[in-house]
């Protein structure tokens, strides 16, 4: 990862998470939050943990905030890219269309838009080249919702 200071984006409230749902965050006060591991923005990957921290603007911290490093490009239409660090609010539920960190069968994690449908759930990528994942309601657990992104200046930008 680059040694330059990261660029921080905060999700604007009450807007669907797409490339326009972000605002720049400028701050001179930072707080360390746990960097818990990696999340796949693609095919789900086995859950693994990392014991580290990441400094984020204090105004982005909520009660149960943590961070994950993104691997993959299934969320590029939401302005979330491979290598980004996403800031997550730990929650156990999500509304239709919200971008969530999802645990599948207590083993694998992925980052997708969640849709509750008649016969189960659809985990929808924000990349037209990738298909959705269909599962039963009992096969998933919401681990949190995306509320921010940290991107280093050398990383891809929309």
Question: Which residues participate in catalysis according to the annotation?
Answer: 74, 112
Per-residue H/E/C for 92-138: CCCCCCCEEEEEECCCEEEEEEEEEECCEEEEECCCCCCCCEEECHH
Kindly report the length of the chain: 158
- As a whole number of angstroms, the distance between CA 11 and CA 29 comes to 19
Contact between residue 66 and residue 144 where contact means Cβ atoms under 8 Å apart: yes
């Amino acid at each position: 990862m680059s040694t330059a200071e990261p660029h921080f984006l905060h999700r604007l409230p009450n807007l669907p998470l797409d490339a326009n749902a972000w605002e720049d965050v400028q701050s001179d006060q930072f707080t360390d939050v746990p960097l818990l591991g990696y999340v796949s923005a693609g095919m789900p990957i086995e859950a693994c943990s990392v014991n580290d921290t990441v400094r984020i603007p204090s105004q982005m911290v909520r009660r149960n905030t943590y961070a994950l490093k993104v691997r993959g490009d299934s969320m590029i239409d939401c302005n979330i890219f491979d290598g980004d660090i996403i800031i997550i609010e730990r929650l156990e539920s999500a509304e239709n269309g919200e971008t969530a960190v999802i645990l599948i069968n207590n083993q694998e994690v992925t980052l997708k838009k969640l849709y509750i449908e008649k016969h189960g759930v659809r985990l929808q990528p924000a990349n037209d080249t990738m298909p959705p994942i269909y599962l039963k309601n009992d096969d998933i657990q919401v681990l949190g919702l995306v509320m921010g992104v940290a991107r280093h200046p050398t990383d891809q930008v929309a």
